[in-house]
Structure 1
């Protein structure tokens, strides 16, 4: 091969490598941005869940002992956003909620005795629990995808991740009270027996 041919071959190889690096770096950068957005979204949903729980606890629909435990768990969760023990606090909040709202008959009694604003708060809490689960799964799915990308040889050899921290999976219990998170709820007022059926 002539010198010109060698120059063209080397130029083509360099161009191909440059394109591959640029494309991979762009994909990795987008994953990092999406992951940061997902983390912020998850934190917002966790904050909303704790706020909804506190609203229910202070509405008068719970007995005093349950209300006190729920408020303490909600306040601990709100104070733990972004802290090193955030996962422990969120797990504790989930456990408190399953204790307070763990019995189907008790939850039905709450709905039957609650007034309209209180029922709305209970419904908001159930919805918030579902949103936390969805945001948690989406976040951890992005973590897994980002980890796979960062383990690729081209990313490691070319140091395409720069100084971005290693993606971190949020490991906490997000299981909601099964009898609270439903699609339909009885609308009967105090002293009236509800005939509505929960629909998941």
Structure 2
């Protein structure tokens, strides 16, 4: 009888440890998904700020007409669908980055700086927002990597701890600073 009781307690102990592990893993996965939502919202906010700063520079009169039009068009496209994610958003953001690279060259920056403090303010704001976009994208992609790593564990898959939440994807687009701002 005491041997049977020992086995029952051993089995109960193992079941409690398994239940604790599953609960801990589910809570951790939930925290990672919350973090992922936060990093995605931060990335969206920074992308909107970059597009707004680009649009303000395009409309400031400090650039020539063709450059202003190219930059304003790319900025407006970026602002059209804030919060939308996926391949379309990545293409739009790549287009804005490309427009910035063609518009904000070193000679153009020098000319804008010579225009006075307004031009310097526009360039500083644009540099700041471009840097923040790069950081926000890295933070988001790190959060995606963490979620994917936990979701690959056998216990998460076997017990469906992630529920029906789709597997998160990294956000990939060119977020390099324009050459004129890097100096």
TM-score tier, shorter chain, comes to over 0.9
| From 106, 109, 125, the counterpart of 1:107 | 109
Q: CA deviation at 1:83?
A: 4.8
Matches for 1:48-197 after TM superposition, within 5 Å: 48-81=49-82, 82-84=84-86, 85-102=88-105, 104-112=106-114, 114-181=115-182
RMSD: 1.2
TM-score where L is the length of structure 2: 0.94
Report the Cα distance in structure 1 between the residues aligned to 2:97 and 2:4, rounded to whole angstroms.
70
Name the counterpart of 2:5: 4
Per-residue Cα deviation, 1:90-109 (whole angstroms, up to 9, x for no partner):
0000000000013x223212
- The structure, 1 or 2, with the larger RCO (C-alpha pairs under 8 Å, 6+ apart) is 2
Total equivalences in the alignment:
180
SS in 1 for 2:156: helix
Per-residue Cα deviation, 1:90-139 (whole angstroms, up to 9, x for no partner):
0000000000013x223212211x23223212210110000000000010
Report the Cα distance in structure 2 between the residues aligned to 1:90 and 1:33, rounded to whole angstroms.
25
Which 4+ residue blocks in structure 1 deviate beyond 3 angstroms?
Answer: none
Q: CA deviation at 1:176?
A: 1.8
Higher helix share: 2
SS in 2 for 1:173: coil
TM-score where L is the length of structure 1: 0.86
SS in 2 for 1:179: helix
Report the Cα distance in structure 2 between the residues aligned to 1:23 and 1:66, rounded to whole angstroms.
54
Q: Is the 8 A contact 2:97 2:176 kept in 1?
A: yes
